[in-house]
Amino acid sequence: MCALERKVFYLNVTAFSIAIERVLEPSLNGRPVVMAPVKSERSLLWEVSPEAKNEGLKKGMSLAQAKKVCKDIIVLPPRPDLVNQVNRKIENKLLSNLTPVYEVEKPGHAYLDLTGLEKLYGEKGDMGKKILLDLKNDFSLIPSVGSSINKLVSKVAAKSKVDDIVLIQEGKEKQFLSPLPVEVLPLVRQIIKVKKDTLFQDLNLKKVRDILSLSPYALEVAFGKTGTEIISMAKGIDFSPVLPPKKEHALFEETYLKEDTNDLPKLRQVLSTLVESGLFKLRKKGLFCQKIEVSFRYIDYKFVSKEKELKNPSQYSYEIAPLVLSLFYDLFKRRTRIQFISVNFKELIQNEIQLSFLDHFQGSKEIESTMDSIKNKFGQRLIKYGNEVG
Amino acid sequence: MIPLCVHSTYSPLGGLLTPREICEWAKANALETIALTDTNGLYGMQFFLEAAKEYGISPIIGSEVIWNKRRVVCLCTSTYSYSKLCILLTKVHMEEMSQDTFLQYLNSFLEEGILFSEDKGILSSLPNEGNLFYEVCPGFFTQKDYYWAHSRNIPLIASTRGYYLKETDHFYYQMIRAIDQNSTLSSTHLDYYNKKCRLYSPLELSRMFTPYPMALKNAQNVAKRCQYNWYTKKIIFPLYEGKSEEDCKMILHQKAQQGLLKRYTHKNELFKKSQKRLQYELSVICQKGFSSYFLVVEDIVKNSPRTCGRGSAASSLVSYLLEITHVDPIKHNLFFDRFLNPERVDPPDIDIDFPWDERDSILDYVFEKYKNHVAMVSNHNTLQGRSSIREVAKVYGISEQEINYVLNRFPRVELNQTWKNVVIHAQRIQGFFKTLSVHPGGVVITPNPISHYVPLQLTPKGLPVIQWEKRQAEKAGLVKIDLLGNRSLAVIRDTITAVNKNHNKCYRYQDLDPLEDDKTKKLLILGQTMGVFYIESPATRQLLQRMKTSEFENIVIASSIIRPAANQFSLEFVQRLHGKPFRHLHPLLKPVLDETYGIIVYQEQVTQVAMALANFSSTEGNNLRKVLDKKDEKKKLQDYKYQFYQGAFKKGISQNILDQIWDMILSFSGYSFCKAHSASYALVSYKSCYLKANYPAEFMAAVISNRGGYYSTFAYLDEARRMNIKILPPDVNKGLEDFVGQKDFIRTGLSQVKGLTQKGLQKLLNYRPYQSLEELLERTDISFEDAKVLVKSRCFSTLKDSTYVDQMWRVYAFFAKKRGHISNTHQALLPNMKEYNPKELIDYELDLLGGGVSFPEWALYRDALSIKGRVRAQDLRCFIGKEVVLFGLYVTSKKVRTSSGGPMMFCTFSDETDIFETVFFPGVYLSYQDLLQMESSFLIKGVVEETLGSIQVRVLKIKTVEPLFANRKNQQVV
């Protein structure tokens, strides 16, 4: 009995956030569009449409520079909530209906393992068409789809954009990858962009075929121990499974500040509000958190984050609020204003707490419980702690 | 009540009132005296004394001392307590102290000084003998404190810690504290302060202290006890080897006579004149008690064979004979009174240039010899202009990118409300003292330990620095000696060393006598003086081209007349030099201005003009000259203008004539030079030019290696190419650390290779020569990164037995073996990769060497160079008055303002043939200022203009051009 041929697909919606905006506003189609916070020209580009890319714009470029390079660009403010919302819908309505084995890499980009599902969807070509059409019909989004026997080659195929659907037959992976730039291989990208290593440039290894042509000796000289891994990648070998989604046991409370600020009392107020809002939700669901993470972004887009484990799982303000504040003070070392704050309640569990006979904070718990009752009846905004209002 | 604890802007980012404002307030409130007690220093003491005198206030000197979170206020009653305070403040800044030691110094101060505090620990550890008080300050003092002081018989003293005047200034106080602490407004720590800490009127104070009348009375009494005459006219000279002034006079005479015989070998007319002049100078010097000063300077100078005594000291024959300066003042008619005269009360100021890399050893010698009697003079860093805006913006939390964006365009940028607030707040705190830094070369040497005269702090290099900058040092009678670094002296030194080696010569710096050399004269006349000390700027080169003369006296004028406000005069001067008839504005000016064709060129001529026309004394004339240098003395300048006009009117000189003369005088605002200074520098220029004319390769290599010239390294390399000198890349076997010139080539220095570590470079030099790459790697043990950088910058060219890619593979193989990835290196098993493509090789060179070395950068612009009808720079003279298109590689630029305030720019470009000058008038400049900021390469359309022989292109349009291999998608912003 021959093993089933793996059928892995990669779904790639280029410039996903802009693609969503184009669905909502079709007049944006075909025009150079970028996504950047519009408050100031000192912002950096978060996303660029293919038309903008052709004009020489790229992610990370300053908005001021982008406007000079391409005077006709349309600038849209980022809407991360909308992107997450659409992404969740795609996941729930499309991906999970196609197969239980799918892995969202990032919004608008996902792997699907459709191995053994030919009877449902037909051959590979039909599967690819179905994915494409479903996304087009249900969401008006047009992806590029790549397929092969593994994740690596499927993704490269989708991003190559040779066609809307690029199918690589089993056994043709090496042939497909050979003429492509070495940067298509993930490990190579990691070496170049993350480690900032110039090794490929130094050794004049420009195409995948250059790597394939190296002898084992040369591979060791160039890559040392990672040579084996790189040559496998260059041959299109990848056994990594498509990982089904894990349930995220976390609750995120985050906000973009109405006005960027470095004023400590104001920032403390925002943190308090986030903490109280999150804890209210946790208590409502009967959940306790074991870890807290505080993150924020400065107006120059530097993002900082720190987390700490609680001694005991908790859902109470008197235990969690001081920790949140302490994490914030640890992080807040610059004077630059903050634009976005997030408090993440992680590793959530249902926990029955053994009440301590000597619990000095029983009173605090009762207060919080009473406040929760009022909030449930009349709304969260009706009653707040003093430090939530500044 | 007299405020006894008052902070000025000289409490570093701690007070909001200048010393002048404090005195003005005191006067307005009918106070006869007031104290200044800045934090941990006497940073503004001399300005306070000056302002107090002006307002008729008696000044009380003191300081708030904060050490290890312990705070006391010290007030001086005498010079003894003053010196103890200086010592205490020095220790606070310079030493780790224990609490006991701190108390000992306080104890010592208390012998005559007054001390008050609310620190109970300190108060209970000090003797209570009538000089110790408990500070009663609103917002800090409580009933408990009263009982505590009472139980120990420590008398109370009223104090309000005045940081500012109005309550609304609290915000600005918070702002400057936030700047000092690098914090936000909401997180600033405001220690020893509350909102009541301001200056109060006497009526407000008497109401405030009603419960404690004794505290008020004690304050009055203490104020009386602190009355002292701080105004001394004494100049404090260094001691020369412990000798008395009488002994020093004798030694000075002897040395001067010896110098006379050495400098004037022929007993000619000059020698006779010098005798008489020497007698006069020695009499002035000795009468003023300056002998030891000259001897100290001579002792320092003799440590280096190459120096340049600059400034007005060069007009002294004594300086010349002691070899402090090297320009013959008799021969060049230099005016001694500009340096010293019997009437002047301020001390002499001798400045000496040393080769820049020898200066530290000179300072080491001085500090070793004079130990705790010597310190550097400080500079006061203040919040000014853009720095003030930047600091306030940071407090507001604005990002660095946004701050840079706004400041690069300020004031021509639209501001939102936040930025408008930033600018308003920044204006309020302009000029506030922030920190000390070190004056470039000023040292002060005193007969007693210097910490008795002024508190000291430490520089980052560990040298002591006084808390006063040069003006205050001068007001205090401290005599400064400037020991400065000069790159061109090092250039001349290195060139001579190379020439002696390469051409078998025995030149010495002092023997170079270039004034009659034809090649030197030719370079000067053509203005081909890039690299030549002091006369290489575009403006000076153009002036030389217009002057068409190489006479020493005219070069001296040229280097002095190039000043921002003197453009109109420099053109007029050139015309008169070439024979344009002129009349002196007034006959009285003839003896003063004849040598400079009726134009005021030198600083001392300002003095002489004021003396001749308006009966100024020599001192008054000199003060007028000084006031022109200082931006903050507008009022004094107006007073002098009035005096000048009144004096001249009395001689019947007309308003019109006076206006013209005064305009010329005003052109000396900002900076200007005396003849002696220009002459000293012109001599160095001449020697420098001689070396360039005769040994161009050695000279240009030395210019580049010593850095710091007017132009970039690559502009100098292009100049060398124009002189038919070949530029060779760095090489592991042949190159040295620095650029080396020999006959007709310059070898690029290995230090030019970006990314090559100093350690790696030294190893390379230590183990040469190398027969192969592997041998080099084995013997030197340089790092992997160093080895890669050497391959990419083609330093292995002479070992080139394979392609550069192959060399790189061999480096990787060597280090793979070293790391244990492979057991042996087998060159034959390495792959046969294609060589890097031309673009990659060019990119590596541009990136690692900072520019084109193996090729001139203009060669990358083939398309632009081959445009039909393009004119070459060397042919511009044939197109005067015509519109042309040129290719230009940016060299340097200078932004200026027209008389109506519009911005314009002078820009220097070069092409494959020559360097050329352009001017962007305001309209054109505004259209292209963003492009010009890129400092890139352009096609330039403009009109060729000629002024008195020098050529300039008046630009109409520019367009960027792309180099070879430019990637359109990744091109720079246009």
Domain encompassing residue B756: 725-849
Confidence of residue B876 (pLDDT cuts 50, 70, 90): very high
CB contact (8 A) between residue B830 and residue A221: yes
Q: Do B545 and B409 share a structural domain?
A: no
| Rounded Cα distance, B738 and B935, in Å | 26
Residues B365 and B456 in one domain: no
Tokens of A64: 């001021």
- Does the bond joining B411 to the residue before it have cis omega, within 30 degrees of 0? yes
User: Is residue B429 located within the same domain as residue B525?
Assistant: no
* Residue of A221, A230, A259, A297 to mutate, testing the B interface (most B Cβ within 10 Å of its Cβ): A221
Q: What value, to the nearest 5°, has the Cα angle with vertex A61 and ends A55 and A65?
A: 70
Nearest residue of B to residue A55 by CA position? Answer: B969
Cα torsion B541, B545, B547, B553: sign: positive
Q: Is the peptide bond before B769 cis (omega within 30 degrees of 0)?
A: yes
Residue with token string 């009285």? B588
* Within-domain flag for B315: yes
What percent of chain B stands above pLDDT 90?
Answer: 64
The structural domain count of chain B equals 6
pLDDT tens digits, one per residue of B745-779: 999 999 999 999 999 999 999 999 999 999 999 99
pLDDT of residue B720: 95
Asked whether the predicted pLDDT for residue B224 surpasses 90, the reply is yes
Shared domain check, B868 and B820: no
Question: Which domains, and CATH codes, for chain A?
Answer: 1-170 (3.30.70.270), 176-234 (1.10.150.20), 250-388 (3.30.1490.100)
Candidate from A199, A204, A221 with C-beta closest to B813: A221
In sequence order, which residues have a C-beta less than 8 Å from that of residue B623 and are 6 or more positions away?
A: B640
Tell whether ipTM is more than 0.90: no
Q: Say whether pLDDT at B55 is over 70.
A: yes
- Tell whether the torsion through CA atoms of B174, B180, B185 and B188 is positive or negative: negative
pLDDT value at residue A356: 52
Instruction: Look at the block and give the residue holding tokens 């006979």.
Output: A357
Kind and range of the H or E run holding B176? helix B170-181
In a domain, B9, yes or no: no
Q: Exposed (0-12), middle (13-18) or buried (19+): which is B766, by Cβ within 10 Å?
A: exposed
Of B201, B110, B211, the C-alpha closest to B156 is B211
H/E segment holding residue B904: strand B903-910
* pLDDT band (50, 70, 90) for residue B514: confident
Contact assignment for A203 to B405 by CB distance below 8 Å: no
Q: Is B503 within a domain?
A: no
Please tell me the distance from the alpha carbon of residue A223 to that of residue A228, in angstroms, as a whole number: 9
Whole-angstrom Cα distance, residue B277 to residue B555? Answer: 25
Question: What pLDDT does B207 receive?
Answer: 86
Distance from CA of B70 to the nearest CA of A (A): 27
CA B348/CA B366 separation, integer angstroms: 19
So what's the pLDDT on residue B634?
73
Confidence of residue A6 (pLDDT cuts 50, 70, 90): confident
In-domain check, residue B477: no
Pairing type for strands B745-747 and B726-728 reads: parallel
Single-letter amino acid code for the residue at A192: I
Q: How far apart are CA B880 and CA B867, in angstroms?
A: 21
**Calpha distance A31→B30 (Å, rounded):** 74
Handedness of CA B736, B737, B740, B745 (dihedral sign): positive
Residues B892 and B943 both lie in one domain: yes
Range of B93-97, B152-156, B624-628 with top mean pLDDT: B152-156
Query: Which whole-number Å values give the CA distances from B394 to B274, B309, B430, B437, B815, in the listed order?
Result: 61, 44, 16, 22, 46
Round to whole Å and give the CA distance between B610 and B780: 69
Token pair 């087009």 in the structure block, residue:
A136
Average pLDDT of the residues in B914-932: 92
Quote the CA–CA distance of B895 and B798 in Å, as a whole number: 45
B835 pLDDT exceeds 50?
A: yes
Q: Is B56 exposed, middle or buried (0-12, 13-18, 19+ CB in 10 A)?
A: exposed
**Residues of A whose CB is below 8 A from B834:** 204
Q: What is the pLDDT of residue B799?
A: 80
Report pLDDT digits (tens) over A294-312.
999 898 878 899 999 998 8
pLDDT at B969 over 70: no
Q: Which residues of A touch B400 (CB under 8 A)?
A: 300, 336
Q: What is the pLDDT of residue A1?
A: 42
Mean pLDDT for chain B?
Answer: 90
Domain check: are B47 and B188 in the same one? yes
Per-residue pLDDT, averaged over B419-448, amounts to 93
Give the end of a domain, one of B849, B871, B905.
B849
Does residue B965 share a domain with residue B894? yes
Q: How far is CA B851 from CA B153, B911, B928, in A?
A: 76, 15, 24
Sequence-distant (6+) residues with CB within 8 A of A210 are: A182, A204, B833
Find the residue in A nearest to B183 (Cα). Answer: A335
Residue of B nearest to A266 (CA): B186
Helix (H, G, I), strand (E, B) or coil at B449: coil
User: Of B659, B686, B713, which one is at a domain's C-terminal end?
Assistant: B686
Among A204, A298, A338, the residue with its CB nearest the CB of B834 is A204
Q: Kindly tell me if the per-residue pLDDT of B299 is higher than 50.
A: yes
Convert the pLDDT of each residue in B377-431 to its tens digit. Answer: 999 999 998 999 999 999 999 988 889 888 987 887 888 899 999 999 999 999 9
Domain shared by B130 and B36, yes or no: yes
- pLDDT, mean of residues B693-705: 96
Task: Find chain B residues with C-beta within 8 A of A214's C-beta.
Answer: 831
Beta-strand relationship, A250-261 and A303-314: unpaired
Report residue A36's pLDDT band, with 50, 70 and 90 as the boundaries: confident
Asked if B519 and B694 count as a contact pair (C-beta separation under 8 A), the reply is yes
The CATH number for B456's domain is: 1.10.10
> What is the reported pLDDT for A147?
93
Report the distance separating Cα B57 and Cα B55, nearest Å: 6
The pLDDT of residue B29 is above 90: yes
Residue A42 in this model has a pLDDT that exceeds 50 = yes
Closest-CA residue in chain A for B967? A56
Other C-beta atoms within 10 Å of A58: how many? 14
Quote the CA–CA distance of B285 and B669 in Å, as a whole number.
Answer: 30
Nearby residues of B590 by Cβ (< 8 Å), 6 or more positions away: B584
Q: Quote the pLDDT of residue A368.
A: 81
Q: What is the pLDDT of residue B481?
A: 93
Structure tokens, B382: 């203040």
Q: What pLDDT score does B377 carry?
A: 96
The answer on B157 and B278 residing in a single domain is no
Instruction: Taking the CA atoms of B616, B620, B624 and B629 in sequence, report the sign of the dihedral they define.
Output: positive
Q: Chain A: which residues have CB within 8 Å of chain B?
A: 40-42, 54, 56, 62, 64-65, 68-69, 198-199, 201-205, 210, 213-215, 217-218, 220-222, 224-225, 260-265, 298-300, 335-338
Burial of A209 (0-12, 13-18, 19+ CB in 10 A): middle
In a domain, B693, yes or no: no
**Model confidence band, residue A40 (pLDDT cutoffs 50, 70, 90):** low
CA A258, distance to chain mean position in Å, is: 24
Report the C-alpha gap between A84 and B538 in whole angstroms. Answer: 60
pLDDT at B667 over 90: no
- Residue B493 is assigned to a structural domain of this protein: no
The b/e string for A73-110 (b: 16+ C-beta within 10 A; e otherwise) is bbbbebeeeebeebbeebbeebbeebbebbbbeebbbb
Q: Is residue B702 a part of any domain in this protein?
A: no
Question: Facing residues of A131 across strands?
Answer: none
CA–CA separation, B349 and A146 (whole Å): 81
Q: Is the pLDDT of residue B972 over 50?
A: no
Q: Which residue has the higher pLDDT, B103 or B414?
A: B103
B724 by Cβ neighbours in 10 Å (0-12 / 13-18 / 19+) ranks as: exposed
Lowest mean pLDDT segment, chosen from A335-349, B54-68, B202-216: B202-216
Question: Which amino acid is present at B591?
Answer: P
Are residues B639 and B623 part of one domain? yes
pLDDT of residue B689: 95
Question: In this structure, are residues B616 and B610 in contact, taking their beta carbons and an 8 Å threshold?
Answer: yes
What pLDDT is recorded for position B974? Answer: 21
List residues of B whose CB lies inside 8 A of any A CB.
182-187, 394-402, 405, 788, 792, 805, 808-809, 812-813, 816, 819, 821-822, 826, 829-831, 833-836, 840, 968-971, 973-974
- Stretch B243-270: mean pLDDT, rounded? 87
Residues of A with CB below 8 A from B405's CB? 41-42, 64
Within-domain flag for B233: no
Q: Quick one: B332 and B388 in the same domain?
A: no
Q: Are B389 and B526 within one domain? A: no
Could you tell me the two tokens for B423? 């600018």
Query: Using CA atoms, how far apart are residues A236 and A175, in angstroms rounded to an integer?
Result: 9
The single-letter DSSP state of residue B131 is: S
- Measured distance CA(A106)–CA(A245) in Å, rounded: 12
| B59 vs B618 pLDDT, higher one | B59
For B972, nearest residue in chain A (alpha carbons): A69
pLDDT greater than 60 at residue A358 = no
In angstroms, what separates the C-alpha of A42 from chain B's closest C-alpha? 6
Task: Work out the pLDDT band at A352, boundaries 50, 70, 90.
Answer: low
Residues 6+ apart with CB under 8 A from B366: B300, B374, B443, B445, B483
- Indicate if the pLDDT at residue B937 is higher than 60: yes
